[in-house]
Amino acid sequence: MKVAVIFGGKTAERDVSLKSGALVLGALRARGVDAHAFDPAEKGLEALIAGRYERAFIALHGRFGEDGTLQGALEWLGIPYTGSGVLASALAMDKLRTKLLWHAEGLPTPPYEVLGKESNLEAVAKRLRTPLFVKPASEGSSVGMTKVRAAAGLDEAYALAVNYDPVVIAEKFIDGPELTAAILGDDVLPVIRIETPREFYDYEAKYAAGGSTHILPAALKPAQADRAMKLSLEAHRVLGCRGVSRADLRFNGDEFYMLEVNTQPGMTGTSLVPELAAHSGRSFGELVKWIVEDASCNR
């Protein structure tokens, strides 16, 4: 099959996308797939038609790649694509709508408030209690996100986040380990624990060499690991996700709290989903081949 590996783009996560896409492209070609690089920053969608691509592997991160925009265009063109569909992609990208859905379904997620220009930030800090996270509602890779330890830092954190999205969320910090689970179809891979010397698992911790340590499997009791995996799969399903996704959560010793689901997880050398797949016996080449074979339309 002829596959367009779509990566790069014009978003804040372009550099990460270039790394993911290059590795995916190489792995697919190594397994005999007729794969071609396609950067939307350099080519228009009409080039997808002219290229007669049979499938699209989406390796874009952030806006226009994992928010349903590109998925809708590919639906219109009738080109099967990897990952979640239009609605699930849009919902998962929007942290506010994600939380509203999870609350409705009874899934645990940290308390939060939506911030605006007229918000009394000091009152918000009193209600949620510091430390807390301030983040744009629709960005990935911790772009625009700040950990705030005192109410005095909220103004600056809000000013940074609103540069990326007009909707900004203040979310209570859950003190405990950060965990991630990967979902492939109906399967949940073992939970991984993330530790970093940085303030939190930010952009540098995610992608810089030595920015974090991954403990796999996570140091959880069997019942706890089972609970984390079940919650991750349910969070994925509630949003209507398909194919591969990555669920992030925190554990305070008593309960797990869902943070977000990423429908286009990174495929770089430091990314979590390839590491989880390798731990479960699936090579990077096998992983990306599975993902592209799972591509479809009308989701």
Q: Catalytic site residues?
A: 13, 141, 207, 246, 248, 260, 262, 266
Show Cβ contacts of residue 280 under 8 Å, excluding neighbours closer than 6 positions: 189, 190
What does the alpha-carbon distance between residue 71 and residue 64 come to, in Å, rounded to a whole number?
Answer: 9
34-38 and 2-6: which strand pairing? parallel
Q: Is 123 left (phi over 0), alpha (psi -120 to 50) or beta?
A: alpha
CA–CA distances in Å: residue 97 to residues 47, 64, 65, 103, 104? 33, 17, 18, 10, 11
* Element spanning 93, H or E: helix 86-93
Nearest residue to 238 (alpha-carbon basis) of 125, 52, 104, 124:
104
Whether the ω angle into residue 131 lies within 30 degrees of 0, i.e. cis, is yes
Strand partners, 168: 115, 136
What are the residue ranges of helices labelled H in 105-178? Answer: 121-128, 154-161
